[in-house]
A and B are shown apart, each in its own frame.
Chain A
Amino acid sequence: MREVQMDLISEEKLNRMTSMEKIRLILDKVKTGRIVVLESGLTPEEEVRLIEMTMTEIRVDEFSGIEIESYPAKREGSFVSRILGRGSSKGRMTVIGPANQLRTVEKDQYQISTKVSVGD
């Protein structure tokens, strides 16, 4: 029986990392076939940089990209700070895996359902 490794990374650990460290950690794990679940997710800026980095690392027959699923980000901060553009967009729980193994079955703003293929 083939097994799939799933790494659930806590918010506490993510908060101690820089954006680049998070992206590198995710890509290194996903490229070895692991599924990564982030407790607090990525910010929208980090998500777009993750996609950008993924594109630079796609290789024929080795790595065709990622399946990444997150909920729409939450806008935080007071009304005044949001008016001033200082409210932060906080990422929510995110699941990321190799595109050839992870498939999204259904997704809405409250739930993400995915399937992981273990066979070749």
Chain B
Amino acid sequence: MGVFESLRMSLGIWLSRIFGKKRARIGIYGPPNAGKTTLANRIVKDWSGDGTLGTVSPVPHETRRAVRKEGLVINADGASIHLDIVDTPGMATKIDFREFMAYGMSEEEAKRRAKEATEGVIEAIKWLDDLDGVLLVMDSTEDPYTQVNVTVIGNMEARNLPLLIVANKIDLPNAAPSRIKAAFPQHPVVQISALEGKNLDELYHAIAVHFG
């Protein structure tokens, strides 16, 4: 990238931060079963009043196609932002159909789901090229140093795009969101329970400030 192109992009980012972006397209990313769709459903319900965006399930890779909701307006403590949100399929580096059979699926069904899940990961990756920022959802009960987390964060940093880490599932007894903060100290972390609706006001404020 040339100097003038860099200056133009940086100026654009600065101006949009100063004068407020008209509309930001934000992707919800994370490993399977981190609670991305539960969070997406919460956001849509709270700010559009519409129905749910996707189906929530304990089976990994329930979301196998990216789902978009356009034109949300989030107002929080005087800050405001117009958003399009994209709930993406869970990112993974491996997909084995036998994993789905453990949830009671037939072999044929499990193989079909595995194929759709691989396509979902590819779709999630393609969306990275077309976003203004990312909400990276992590499960607070899990080790935060997953390759998916490291890769998504690395890509956002390389593209100079804003990233907000959502430490989800803090309602669970073994949740340790402090591990997430310690692992990625260079990025803001908001601790929530998307399932119980805990700390969502804090999250909305962070979204409006961080992506606005």
A: residues with CB less than 8 A from B are: 43-45, 47-48, 51-52, 54-56, 58, 60, 64-73, 75, 83-86, 88-89, 99-100, 107-109
Comparing B19-27, B94-102, B193-201, the segment that makes contact with chain A is B94-102
Instruction: Give the CA-CA distance A72 to B147 in the complex, in Å.
Output: 9
Specify the chain A residue showing the minimal Cβ separation from B92: A65
Q: B114–A99 contact, CB under 8 A?
A: no
The answer to whether A51 and B118 touch (CB under 8 A), given A65-B92, A73-B157, A99-B94, is no
Q: Please, how many angstroms separate the alpha-carbon atoms of A52 and B127 in the complex?
A: 12
- Whether B155 pairs with A84 at a CB distance below 8 angstroms is no
B158→A89 contact, CB < 8 A: yes
Residues of A within 8 A of B153 (CB): 72
Name, among B91, B92, B151, the residue most crowded by chain A CB atoms within 10 Å (CB to CB): B151
Instruction: Evaluate contact between A72 and B95: CB separation under 8 angstroms.
Output: no
Query: Are the CB atoms of B160 and A85 closer together than 8 Å?
Result: yes
Q: Render B126-148 as a binary contact track against A, CB cut-off 8 A, 1 for contact.
A: 00100000000000000101010
Min CB gap B180→A, angstroms: 13
Whether B154 lies near A89 (C-beta < 8 A) is: yes
Q: What is the predominant secondary structure among interface residues of chain A facing chain B?
A: mixed
Q: With the chains together, A83 CA to B10 CA distance in Å? A: 8
Check: B174 CB closer than 8 A to any chain A CB.
no
Q: Are B151 and A65 in contact (CB under 8 A)?
A: no
Chain B interface (Cβ within 8 Å of chain A)? 1, 3, 6-7, 9-10, 13, 91-97, 111, 114, 118-119, 121-122, 125, 128, 143, 145, 147, 150-151, 153-155, 157-158, 160, 183-184
Give every chain A residue within 8 A of B151 (Cβ-Cβ).
44, 47-48, 51
On whether A54 and B9 interact (CB within 8 A), knowing A44-B155, A47-B151, A107-B145, the answer reads: no
List, in ascending order, chain B residues with CB within 8 A of A72's CB: 150, 153-154, 184
Q: Which of B1, B125, B184 contacts A52 (CB 8 A)?
A: B125
A106 to B154, CA, bound (A): 20
Do A84 and B93 touch across chains, with their CB atoms under 8 A apart? no
- State whether A51 and B160 are in contact (beta carbons under 8 Å apart), knowing that A66-B94, A68-B93 are contacts in the complex: no
- A73: B residues at CB distance < 8 A: 150, 154, 157-158
| Docked-complex contact B111 and A51, CB < 8 angstroms | no
Contact A108 B145 (CB under 8 A): yes
Nearest residue in B to A89 (C-beta to C-beta)? B158
A44 near B154 (CB under 8 angstroms)? Answer: yes
Which of A52, A55, A72, A88 has the most B CB atoms < 10 Å from its CB? A55
In the bound assembly, the distance between CA atoms of A56 and B122 in angstroms comes to 8
- CB-defined contacts of A69 to chain B, threshold 8 Å: 147
The interface residues of chain A lying within 8 Å CB-to-CB of B122 are 52, 55-56
B128 contacts A48, CB within 8 Å?
Answer: yes
Contacting A45 at CB < 8 Å: which of B94, B118, B155? B155
Min CB–CB distance A42 → chain B (angstroms): 9
Q: Once the chains bind, are A107 and B143 in contact (CB under 8 Å)?
A: yes
A70 and B147 form a contact (CB under 8 A): yes
